[in-house]
Amino acid sequence: MKNHTFQSFTQKLQNLKIDPIRKVRRRVLDEGSESSFFHSALEKWVDLNLSTTFVELFVRPVRPLSESLPHILHHKQRIFSLLVDGIKTRDVNALEPLLDLLTQFAHDLGVEFQGFFEESVGLLAALVTEGFVEAQVVEWAFGALAYLLKYLSRLLAGDLRPLFGIVRGMLGRGGGRGFVRRCAGEAVGFLVRRVKVEVVRDLARIVFEDLRGCEGAWVPGYMEGLMGLFREGCVVGFFVLRVRRGDGGVNS
């Protein structure tokens, strides 16, 4: 039997044909349209996935709430709750459509998805870090993360510290698999390459503050994940220099 070959996070980003969101107004106001990415994707998955979890727990209650974009915007909190409940079942037969629908939900909401972003990334992190998980689930979770980060990149660029707080476990804090650490490092690194120096400095400060209290056999793996995060020019050199000096802080 062939081993599963993971696609790198960078490859996932390159394969995504979406542009980062620019405007802060709702799509329904921008385009005067009732069309919905979420609704179109839901109808596709209804034909493709007949798992009990997906149909009974999600499709039946969400369909009346998502017939058009105005419906989705009005019922966004309830729709998100249904997505969360479905994903938390960790039912491998239902996760692929649910994770895809999470990204399409974000696409519909645009800037309004910011209120759901941290919980969404936390859900994805839990899928890939808590115990044994199938390789395909890891792929789906990182595919969803790639979509969210690329689509919302301009909205996240002002401060990467909240994102780091969510993905520390994916980066290897406390343990974890090498592929997960590398993908998580590439994920945050994708944003590091696109932000101002001040944002990188603030991020580096909390990284070193976090490292100061780290002990255990998992620390080298965590360092690997962090190296991936800062793998850009002088930034990674700065990181290595500080670590070799045993410096737990960052000068302003």
Whether residue 100 lies inside any domain: the answer is yes
**Residue 142 domain-assigned (yes or no):** yes
Identify the pLDDT of residue 126: 92
| 136 found inside a domain | yes
Last residue of one domain, picked from the residues 127, 156, 185: 156
* Residue 193 three-state SS: coil
Whether 163 maps to a domain, the answer reads no
User: What is the distance in angstroms between the CA of the first residue and the CA of the last residue of the chain?
Assistant: 53
Contact criterion met (CB below 8 Å) for 68 and 34: yes
Which residues lie below 8 Å from residue 100, measured CB to CB, with a gap of 6+? 41, 45, 140, 144
C-alpha span between 48 and 97 (Å, rounded) = 9
DSSP state of 5: P
> What does the alpha-carbon distance between residue 109 and residue 103 come to, in Å, rounded to a whole number?
10
Classify residue 165: in a domain, yes or no: no
Q: Would you say residue 161 lies in a domain?
A: no
Q: Do 205 and 106 fall into the same domain?
A: no
User: In terms of domains, do 44 and 134 share one?
Assistant: yes
10, 121: one domain: yes
What is the domain range of residue 213?
170-252
Does 238 lie in the same domain as 187? yes
In tens digits, the chain (252 residues) has pLDDT values of: 445 555 677 777 777 778 888 755 444 444 445 789 999 999 999 999 999 999 999 999 999 999 999 999 999 999 999 999 999 999 999 999 999 999 999 999 999 999 999 999 999 999 998 766 788 998 999 999 999 999 999 999 999 999 999 999 999 998 888 888 988 888 888 898 888 888 988 998 899 899 888 999 999 999 988 888 887 434 554 554 455 555 554 444
Among 107, 132, 156, the domain boundary falls at 156
User: Is the Cβ–Cβ distance between 105 and 79 less than 8 Å?
Assistant: yes
Q: How many Cα atoms occupy the beta-carbon half-sphere of 96 within 13 Å?
A: 13
Same domain, 142 and 36: yes
Let me know whether 137 and 242 are in one domain: no
**In terms of DSSP H, where are the helices of 6-113?**
9-15, 27-31, 37-48, 52, 60-62, 69-74, 76-88, 92-109
* Domain count of the fold of the chain: 2
Q: Is residue 227 part of a domain?
A: yes
Do 147 and 245 fall into the same domain? no
CA pair distance 99, 140, nearest whole angstrom? 7
The verdict on 150 and 28 lying in the same domain is: yes
**In a shared domain, residues 95 and 127:** yes
**What is the distance between the alpha carbons of residues 59 and 41, in angstroms, rounded to a whole number?**
12
Domain shared by 91 and 175, yes or no: no
Which DSSP category does 233 fall into? H
Four-point Cα dihedral 78, 93, 172, 179, nearest 10: -130
Decide if 162 is inside a domain.
Answer: no
Q: Are residues 151 and 194 in the same domain?
A: no
Same domain for 14 and 131, yes or no, is yes
Q: At what angle do helices 92-109 and 135-151 cross, to 10 degrees?
A: 0
What gap in Å lies between CA 55 and CA 174, rounded to an integer?
36
